[in-house]
Structures are given as structure tokens and as C-alpha cells.
Chains A and B, each alone.
Chain A
Amino acid sequence: MNAAGMSAVPLLRVEHLTMRFGGLVAVDDVSFDAADRQITAIIGPNGAGKTTVFNCLTGFYKPTVGRLMLSPAVGSEFLLERMEGYRIGQRARVARTFQNIRLFPRMSVLENLLVAQHNKLMRASGFTLLGLFGAPVYRKAEGKAVELARYWLDRIGLTARADEDAGNMPYGDQRRLEIARAMCTEPHLLCLDEPAAGLNPRESAELNDLLKFIRDEHRIGVLLIEHDMSVVMKISDHVVVLDYGRKISDGTPERVRNDPAVIRAYLGEEENEALPPEVEADLRQGA
């Protein structure tokens, strides 16, 4: 176990997670921890079961076997595998983004961020009646929600375009907007599914800064699925490697990079063959 596992109770503890679809075992007895204030990356070849792990965490799938325990504070814990879909977002506060962006395209950028805060707003609006007549309580809550949204808009540089439809934003902005929306739910754990996919190098660097900012300033746990090794090696504190649904390695980026099992999974079985120089370079990029 790395340093992350040393704290008494990790933010997220996944134990013996198994997900079967009929005869297909997508995830097979995977256990790992993800700590608070750390970026934990889940990597692995295509079809390794990374997204399935996310789908179990966020209530899309009910795991066949396993325990997913989230402990955001001392004495409070949530068993995610037993919770109904929307409560995972509402109570346990696990937020998530998708490989293919899923914003609400025909709502404005600002509204996308406000939807994420609707639980506070629904309560303040007395389940709509007060909101309809513009009661001060609701106005105040709405003002606060807009403030939080503004904070994130400034962070991702979209303040000037807050009233445009989210669907009209450029791709890189949509990616960051999706992360901002997830952060507006004030999550304990943020799950990002390939956030760097399709970004150019500049956007990718901006993304790294945003993720580090979230980790350091907001002090939450970030769980990251990523293919781009430069991102993984640069920003993650802890890496979990999956292959064919099994965990094959777990530890710091340096350890994982030199783990023969990982190299085998990525490059095939020929153990005696040296790594091609460009792959070697690629793996070391973040060091």
C-alpha cells in the first residue's frame, strides 16, 4: 500500500467489486482505496473494466458482489452499492463526468451549473411555490447559487459566455464546464472518465491545472480514468491498473510504471523484448 492507504479510513474503499453481465465478467474481484485530497488514476487497456467501476460507483449498475464504502467524514459512511441512483449524488455526493460529454445542451452555461445545485434551491423555494412568487428566501438562495456558479465560471474562463447555450461551446470548454458542473454539487468524490480525451496539448495542460486546483484547494478526492499517460504520470498521486477486469498493479506512478505486469499488459507477452524507445519516452514523459 502506498501513503494513501495509511490514513485510518480512506475516502473510498472498494472491496471485492465484481460485476457480471450474464457470462461476461467485466470486473473481477477488484479492491482498492482512494484517498481524500489525492488524485487516484485508474488505467488499463480498452475493455479493462474501468468505466464499469465508475458505473458501479455512481449507481448505474448494481454490483454483483462487493462493497463500495464512501467515508467523507469521521463517523459518516455511505454504502454506495445499496443506494438509489439519485441519492448517490444527493447524499453521498459522488459526482461524475463522462467520456462523451453529457451537458444539457439546450440550457445556458449558467443554468447547467444551477441544475447541479437544485437540492439547496428546491428547499429554499419551498418546493417551488415561494420561488414562483419571488420570495426573499428564494432570491437569496438563488443569489448564492449564482455566486458559486460564477466562481467556477471564472475558474474555467467562461464567465463572458454564461448565457449562451452549453451546446454551442467549443469542445475543450464543454469538458471543463462538465467538471465545473460536477464541482457545483460540492462533491466529496469527483469521478472523471477520460477528461483529457480529444483535448489539444494546451487544453490538456489547462485541465491538469484545474484538477490540481480542485485537489489542493477544495480538498476532495478525485478518481480519474485516463489513457493519456502524460496526464496520469504528471498529476496522479496513486495509480490503479486494471486488465481484463482484474487489478494487476496498485501504487505510486513510479512504481506502477516499472511494474513488469503493467508493461506486459500494455505491450504484450514478449518479456525478453526491450521496450521500443518511443514507448519508453512516452511512459517517462511525466517523470
Chain B
Amino acid sequence: MEYFIQQFINGVTLGAIFGLIAIGYTMVYGILGMVNFAHGDIFMIGGFISIITFMILGVLGVTWLPFSLLCMLLIAMAFTGLHGWAVERIGYRALRNSNRLAPLISAIGVSIFLQNYVQLLQGARNKPLSPIIFGGIELMTSSTGFTVTFAYMQMVIIGVATVLMAGFSVLIARTALGRQQRACEQDMKMARLLGVDVDRTIALTFIMGAALAAVAGLIWLLRYGIIDFYVGFLVGIKAFTAAVIGGIGSLPGAMLGGLLIGLIEVFWSAYFSVEYKDVAAFAILVLVLIFRPTGLLGKPDIEKV
């Protein structure tokens, strides 16, 4: 039982990372109908910017942890958002009205470009970061001596992810920008006729998705203490899986899907085998696609008239 609770906490932590990335996939898909394959690499760039920021803060002598964490968060969000904007502007905008496959291929190209760009600038070696948040609360100890620990790091991760996801949901549901995004998603031409600057709305969507992925990158770095230029590929694919499981295009679906993938992966590793955790995650994808092709919270496609 104690072991189960510990794994549950770990699973939610991992799920928060996937959820944050999945939001980016699902928003872009919702508004443009394309899969932004470069999004995993945007996440990786977020991690790199975080570690660079941390190093710079160290050199500057900033040692108060909450402040440096906040700086890492904001700087990573800002610069990764800039990357997200640039990707849309350079990689996708010109292809928006062409064949559906063209932006997809362009996305794969952007993904390869981003990996090589980071490899060139930062080197191919892993970048390690020694743990910076220590300790935790010991929740309970079993008779066999196994202790359930809720690490402070995990609290920070789950807290930040929850706050961001909630804020983001409010933004989409309540603000003028969110309404504009939903309008573009449903009928882009009509939105343009009503005076909505569609290009700007799409650019903002990419920036927001990238900023959330940057937070995921920062969290990843804090949790695993290591990052390399290739990490975005597998994590990105899993987050995409999460978005599809939750129902691509659905915001709560992306968060739920992320949580599920995180839990499945952690429980599978804990009770069966670590080697096959990816297989487990993707097997669930297959099952969901067979029995519920629109995903758990996705709505069936409504025929447009």
C-alpha cells in the first residue's frame, strides 16, 4: 500500500510534465489542424534555457533559491515563447493554406533543425544539474520499513503545474483572447471578418504553448537533473500520445491524458518492468484509439455545413 502511494505521487509528478506539453499540442491542433512535431524540441529548449539561466544566476551570485527558481521560470517561459513564435513565423505561416501534409513535413524539419541547433550551440553531451531542492515530508512508514516521501521538489512541481493549468483554463474560458482563440478554432475566416487578427492569435497560441512547454522543461531538469539535445523526441511523442488519449483539441483532455500517461508509465515501471514502460504507454494509446477514437474527452467531429 505504501509503495502504491509513493508510486502514485511519482506518477502525478511525471503526469504534470506530460500534461503541460500536451496542452501545446492540443491547442495548435485545435486551431490549425496540424501536429506540431517540433513541440517536443521546444520543451527541450525550455530545459536548456533553464539550466543556462541557473548557471548565469550562479555566476552573478544569486543564491536565494525561491528567487532563482522564479527567474528560471520566467526567463525560460519568455525565451522559449520567442522560439515558439519564430517556429510558427518561419516554419508554418507560409504553409497555412497549402496541403495539409506540407506543414507536417515542415514541422519534422523544424524538429530536426532545433535538435541540431542546440547540439551545435550547447554540445552533444548531457548537461547535468545537481539537485537544488532537497528534503520532503515523510507521510508514512510501512511495517517493512518502506517510507512514503512527498519530496518538496514534487510539491513545487505539482503546485506550479496546477496553478499554470488553472490559469490557462481561465484564460481560454473567460478572457477576450481565449474567446478569440476558440473563434479561430471554429471558423477562422469568419473570425477574420469580425476583425480578429488571426495571424496574431495563432502566433500567441504558439507562444503560450511554448511557454508551458518551457515550464515542463524546467520541471524535467529539476526532477531528473539532466538534459540533452535529444530528450525532446521521446518526451514529445509521449505528450502527443497524452493529447490524443485525452482527445486532441480538448484542453482538459490534454491535462487528463498527461496524468494518465504519467501514472501508467510509473506504475508499469514499478510493478512490471522498467524496460517496457514506453511500450505500456503506447499500448494504451492503441487501446484508446480502437475503442474511443476521439479520445476520452474529445467530441466527435461535427460535419461543417
Contact = CB atoms under 8 A, between A and B. Distances in A.
A115 B192 contact: no
Contact of A85 (B170, B179, B193, B302): B193
B156 to A, nearest CB: 22
Given A100-B305, A102-B187, A128 B176 contact: yes
A144 to B, nearest CB: 12
B175 interface: yes
- In the complex, which of the residues B174, B186, B191 has the most CB atoms of chain A within 10 Å of its own CB atom? B186
B26 interface: no
Contacts of A128: 171, 175-177
Interface in B210-224: none
A185 B196 CA distance: 11
Interface string B176-207: 11011011001101111111111000000000
Contact of B198 (A60, A86, A98, A114): A86
Contact of B179 (A60, A90, A102, A115): A115
B195 A86 contact: yes
Contacts of A58: 193
A98 B170 CA distance: 32
Interface residues of A, number: 37
Given A105-B302, A122-B177, A125-B175, A86 B196 contact: yes
Nearest to A117: B176
A132 B193 contact: no
Contacts of A142: 176
A115 B198 contact: no
B186 A104 contact: yes
Contacts, number: 92
A282 B32 CA distance: 47
Contacts of B305: 100
Nearest to A93: B195
B195 A122 contact: no
A213 interface: no
A35 to B, nearest CB: 23
B167 interface: yes
Contacts of B167: 132
Interface string A159-194: 000000001000000000000010001000000000
Nearest to B305: A100
- In the complex, which of the residues B186, B190, B193, B198 has the most CB atoms of chain A within 10 Å of its own CB atom? B193
Contact of A118 (B186, B189, B196): B196
Interface of A: 58-60, 85-90, 93, 95-96, 98, 100, 102, 104-107, 111, 114-116, 118-119, 121-122, 124-125, 127-128, 131-132, 142, 167, 181, 185
Interface of B: 167, 170-171, 174-177, 179-180, 182-183, 186-187, 189-198, 302, 305
14 contacts: A86-B192, A86-B196, A96-B193, A105-B186, A106-B186, A107-B182, A107-B183, A118-B179, A121-B176, A124-B176, A131-B171, A131-B176, A131-B177, A132-B167
